[in-house]
Amino acid sequence: MNSADLGLPVDVPSTALFTDHYELTMLQAALHAGTADRRSVFEVFTRRLPEGRRYGVVAGTGRVLDAVENFRFDAGVLGFLRERKVVDEATLAWLADYRFSGDIWGYPEGEVYFPGSPLLRVEGSFAECVLLETVILSILNHDSAIAAAASRMASAAGDRPLIEMGARRTHELAAVAASRAAYVGGFATTSDLAAGFRYGIPTVGTSAHAFTLLHDSERDAFRAQVDSLGEGTTLLVDTYDVKEAVRTAVEIAGPKLGAVRIDSGDLLLVAHRVRQQLDELGAADTKIVVTSDLDEYAIASLAAAPVDAYGVGTQLVTGSGHPTCSMVYKLVARAESADPKAPLVPVAKKSAGGKTSVGGRKWAARRLDRDGVAEAEVVGTGAVPPELADRQLLVELVRGGDVVAREPLDTVRERHIAARDALPLSATQLSKGESVIPTEYV
C-alpha cells in the first residue's frame, strides 16, 4: 500500500515552516540584491562518522521527497510570517508562488556512506534551494542515525529477527520515522501501528505486565490471552516467578505455545534456564523473545544464548548513543550571475576548527577490490574515471521539481543489506574504530 497521499494524522499540511528563521531572511536579502536567481548547487555530507562507527546508512530519502513536494506557503503560513514580520511583503509574494523546480540527486536510500560522501545534491536557484536546508537535514540526520543503529543491531543479531518497540521513548511523530528507519536498517517488525499503517511495516504485539496484573492470577491472565489470541501467542513470563510462569504457560497453551517473552533479569542466564525448561516440558518449538533496554552490545552478548528474537526500544530510537549524524547542507557551487548559461564557480567555507568543506559539484563512486569488496569511497569534481563509470553512487531523485525515484520500502531494505554485505568484514565489528574504507578526493 502506498499511503504517502492519504493525508494521515502523522503528516502536516505543509512542511514550509520546518525551517529556520534565517533561511527566509537570507532569501529576502538575496531577492533585494538580485542574487536569488543564481544557479546554485548545495550538497549534504558529514565531515566525520559518529565516534566508533565504521559506516553510515542513508535513510529518510523517501521522506525528504515528500517534504519537498509539500513545501508550500499557504495563506495560514504566510499570515504567520506577516504577523511576525519575518520578511517583507515582496518576499511574502515570492513565497506564495514557491514550488521547488530544481533537480535533486543523491545516494539511493539504504546505501552506506562515509565522511565526505555527497549524500544529496540539490540544484536550482539559490532562493529555492536554500529554503530546503533545515527540513532536509532534520529528516536525514534523524533517520540515518536510527538506521545506522538498527544496522549494527541487525548485524549483531545475525539471522534472529528484531522487533522495533521504541514508540513510547520518543516524540510520537519521531516514533513513526524511527520505525521506518529501523526497518531500512534491518528490523523485521514494529509495535507502532501508525508506522504499520503509513509504511506497510509488519506490526506485532501481545501483552504487557499490566495485563497480567489486571487478573487475579497469572494463570487467569494466560488463560484469557490464549483463549483470545490462540496457542501461538507470546506470553510474558517475568511478572512474578519465571520458572512457575513458564510451567503455567505450557500447561495452558500446550506444547504449541508460540513464544515466551523475558523482559528483565540476567537475560543470558534466564534464557538458558527457560530453554531447558521448555524442552523438558515438551515445548521444543516454543520460541524465546527477549527485551529490556537492549542495544547492539547486549544483543551481541546474547549470541550464544537460546534466543529467537529481540525487542529493542530506547537505544534504537535514540541512535544507540548517537541521535544525529552531524550532516550539513553546504553551498558548493554557484553561477557568476542570474544568466541560466552562466558557468558554475566552486565555493567552499574556509575556517578554523575543522569546519572546512570542498567546493565544486561532486560525483561519488565506490571502488571495489578484485573480490568485489569495497576498498574506497572516491569523490571528485571533474570527469569520472572510466574504471569507475559503472560504480557511481548518486541517482536522480527529482527532475525539474518532479519526484522521479519513489520506491517500495522493502526495496530500500534489501539495498541496505546488499550494501552492508559488500563492505569489509570489519565494518560490523562493535569495537571502536575508524571508517571501514577511506574517502579519496580526485
Write the CATH number for 398: 3.20.140.10
User: Domain ends where: 254, 275, 307?
Assistant: 307
pLDDT score recorded for residue 350? 81
The verdict on residue 173 lying in a domain is no
Claim to verify: residue 339 and residue 290 sit in the same structural domain: no
pLDDT score recorded for residue 301? 97
Claim to verify: residue 226 and residue 285 sit in the same structural domain: yes
Claim to verify: residue 131 and residue 30 sit in the same structural domain: yes
- Single-letter code of the amino acid located at 223: R
User: Domain ends where: 248, 274, 307?
Assistant: 307
The verdict on residue 156 lying in a domain is no
Q: How many domains does the chain have?
A: 2
The verdict on residue 138 lying in a domain is yes
Claim to verify: residue 47 and residue 112 sit in the same structural domain: yes
pLDDT score recorded for residue 3? 45
The verdict on residue 315 lying in a domain is no
Claim to verify: residue 40 and residue 123 sit in the same structural domain: yes
Candidates 392, 389, 378, 390; CA nearest to 441 is 378
The verdict on residue 179 lying in a domain is no
Claim to verify: residue 79 and residue 121 sit in the same structural domain: yes
In angstroms, rounded to a whole number, what is the distance separating the alpha carbons of residues 424 and 199? Answer: 31
User: Domain ends where: 307, 334, 354?
Assistant: 307
Claim to verify: residue 341 and residue 437 sit in the same structural domain: yes
pLDDT score recorded for residue 352? 65
Residue 335 corresponds to which cell in the numbers above? 553561477
Domain of 65, in residue numbers: 21-146+322-441
439: left (phi over 0), alpha (psi -120 to 50) or beta: beta
Q: Which residues contact 386 (CB under 8 A, 6 or more apart)?
A: none
pLDDT in 10s for each residue of the chain, 442 residues: 344 444 444 455 689 999 999 999 999 999 999 999 999 999 999 999 999 899 999 999 999 999 999 999 999 999 999 999 999 999 999 999 999 999 999 999 999 999 999 999 999 999 999 999 999 999 999 999 999 999 999 999 999 999 999 999 999 999 999 999 999 999 999 999 999 999 999 999 999 999 999 999 999 999 999 999 999 999 999 999 999 999 999 999 999 999 999 999 999 999 999 999 999 999 999 999 999 999 999 999 999 999 999 999 999 999 999 999 999 999 999 999 999 889 999 999 887 666 778 999 999 999 999 999 999 999 999 899 999 999 999 999 999 999 999 999 999 999 999 999 999 999 999 988 899 999 999 9
Claim to verify: residue 250 and residue 334 sit in the same structural domain: no
pLDDT score recorded for residue 8? 43
The verdict on residue 186 lying in a domain is no
> Phi/psi at 133 (nearest 5 deg)?
-55, -55
Claim to verify: residue 289 and residue 326 sit in the same structural domain: no
The verdict on residue 11 lying in a domain is no
The verdict on residue 159 lying in a domain is no
Claim to verify: residue 140 and residue 106 sit in the same structural domain: yes
Claim to verify: residue 326 and residue 272 sit in the same structural domain: no
Claim to verify: residue 93 and residue 59 sit in the same structural domain: yes
**Cα angle 26-116-147, degrees, rounded to a multiple of 5:** 95
> Please, which contacts does 418-422 make with residues 24 or more away whose CB atoms are closer than 8 Å?
419/110, 419/111, 419/112, 420/55, 420/112, 420/151, 420/155, 422/368, 422/372, 422/373, 422/374
**DSSP label at 101?**
-
Please say whether the beta carbons of 147 and 109 come within 8 A.
no
Q: What pTM, to 2 d.p., does this model score?
A: 0.94
Q: Which residues contact 250 (CB under 8 A, 6 or more apart)?
A: 257, 278, 281, 282, 283, 286
CATH number of the domain that 252 lies in?
Answer: 3.20.20.70
